[in-house]
């Protein structure tokens, strides 16, 4: 046993590990300054009603443009922000931005668009979360029912008891709650009943892919089963990552409520998103080529 531990600690100090740790530290200190250096931006991806093809809302997605590192993908820096606790400040800023932008668009277009904001596990378990959400709503003037918060199954599983209480308090503000990436985490169907969620976001791994023709049928069956289950529990289903007409047609037949994905539009910076909303599709650099 002592040998195994010795072995592990030796491995920890290989040059590659050292290099990795250094790269991480570099990125961490860069991320620490990203907000004040205005390197962060919130982009928006439209969400469409499957039956009417109307834009009914949008998901706020964080982007980091670093002068040297370039565009750092959220899959890289969100986990880092989560581990270091930086997600607290950054997440609050995203929430404020999303509420402000949405309020402006709702007013300018005279349509009730709903904005959906991702919350990380640490944010969900932040004691100040409810106060921060209330403040973002008040400060922006966005009606609470036009805000939706997306949580992952993982963050609900972390401490279900606290999560349940927090979600109850959030619901009391009048907003909507969504379970993101449904089916990829510690899926427990009991969660859908236990927690006061309104929306289920069907992960794209459940959508029939063009490459998995053989598996396609079983994927479709699974997606249909999830849709049926969600509707039985009076949840709305949003399919994410819709890339093709085939998948869209499938979702329409299966009775899916809303969809988002490259087939309709990529996530866009605020100005382009507003143009997209106004119907200036050409200017908005939308569609599969964007
Ligand atoms: P998510 O919440 O599941 O967001 C959906 C992801 O799918 C986004 O990736 C979006 O750009 C991408 N996507 C949209 N349509 C398509 C499509 O048709 N095909 C494919 N392949 N992908 C599509 P993105 O923007 O890279 O974000 C990745 C993840 O990072 C998000 O997954 C979310 O978990 C996290 N994230 C992003 N912004 C925030 C944020 O402000 N706060 C927190 N806590 N997490 C965030
Ligand atoms: Mg999401
Ligand atoms: Mg998702
Ligand atoms: Mg996803």
Taking the chain (290 residues) in consecutive chunks of 10 residues, what is each chunk's mean pLDDT? 48 77 91 96 97 95 95 96 96 98 95 96 96 98 98 90 96 97 77 92 78 59 89 96 93 96 97 89 42
CA distance 258 to 242: 10
3-class DSSP state for residue 48?
Answer: strand
| pLDDT for the residue numbered 288 | 42
> Cα(203) to centroid of ligand 3, in Å?
6
Residue nearest to atom 35 of ligand 1 (CA): 74
Residue pointed to by tokens 């972390």: 158
Whether pTM > 0.95 for this model: the answer is no
Task: Give Cβ neighbours of residue 55 (< 8 Å, ≥ 6 apart).
Answer: 46, 47, 48, 113, 277
Q: How far apart are CA 262 and CA 265, in angstroms?
A: 5
Q: Is 219 in the pocket of ligand 1 (CB under 6 A)?
A: no
- The Å distance, Cα 78 to ligand 4 centre, comes to 13
Question: Tell me: the pLDDT tens digits for 224-249?
Answer: 888 999 999 999 999 999 999 999 99
Residue 267 CB less than 6 A away from ligand 1: yes
- Rounded CA-CA distance 20/25 in Å is 9
**Atom nearest to 74 CA in ligand 1:** 30
Q: ipTM of the assembly?
A: 0.98
What's the pLDDT at 148?
Answer: 98
Question: Which residue out of 63, 149, 240 has the highest number of ligand 1 atoms within 8 Å of its CB and is therefore the one to mutate?
Answer: 240
Largest pairwise CA distance in the chain: 68
What pLDDT is attached to residue 11? 57
Q: Which two tokens stand for residue 76?
A: 């890289």
């Amino acid at each position: 046993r002592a040998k195994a531990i010795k072995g592990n600690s030796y491995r920890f100090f290989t040059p590659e590990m050292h290099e990795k740790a250094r790269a991480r530290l570099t990125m961490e200190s860069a991320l620490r300054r990203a907000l004040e250096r205005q390197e962060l931006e919130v982009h928006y991806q439209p969400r469409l009603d499957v039956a009417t093809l109307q834009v009914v809302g949008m998901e706020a997605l964080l982007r980091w443009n670093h002068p040297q590192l370039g565009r750092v993908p959220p899959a890289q820096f969100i986990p880092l922000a989560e581990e270091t606790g930086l997600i607290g400040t950054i997440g609050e800023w995203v929430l404020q931005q999303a509420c402000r932008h949405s309020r402006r668009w709702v007013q300018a277009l005279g349509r009730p668009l709903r904005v959906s904001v991702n919350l990380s596990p640490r944010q969900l378990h932040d004691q100040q979360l409810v106060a921060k959400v209330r403040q973002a709503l008040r400060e922006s003037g966005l009606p609470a029912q036009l805000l939706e918060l997306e949580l992952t199954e993982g963050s609900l599983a972390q401490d279900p008891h606290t999560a349940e209480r927090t979600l109850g308090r959030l619901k009391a503000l009048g907003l909507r709650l969504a379970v993101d990436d449904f089916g990829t985490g510690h899926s427990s169907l009991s969660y859908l009943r236990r927690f006061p969620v309104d929306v289920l976001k069907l992960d794209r791994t459940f959508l029939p892919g063009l490459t998995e023709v053989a598996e396609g049928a079983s994927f479709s069956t699974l997606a249909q089963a999830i849709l049926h289950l969600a509707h039985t529990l009076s949840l709305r289903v949003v399919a994410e990552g819709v890339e093709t007409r085939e998948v869209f047609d499938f979702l329409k037949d299966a009775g899916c409520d809303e969809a988002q994905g490259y087939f309709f539009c990529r996530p866009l910076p605020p100005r382009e998103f507003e143009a997209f909303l106004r119907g200036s599709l050409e200017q908005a650099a939308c569609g599969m080529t964007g």
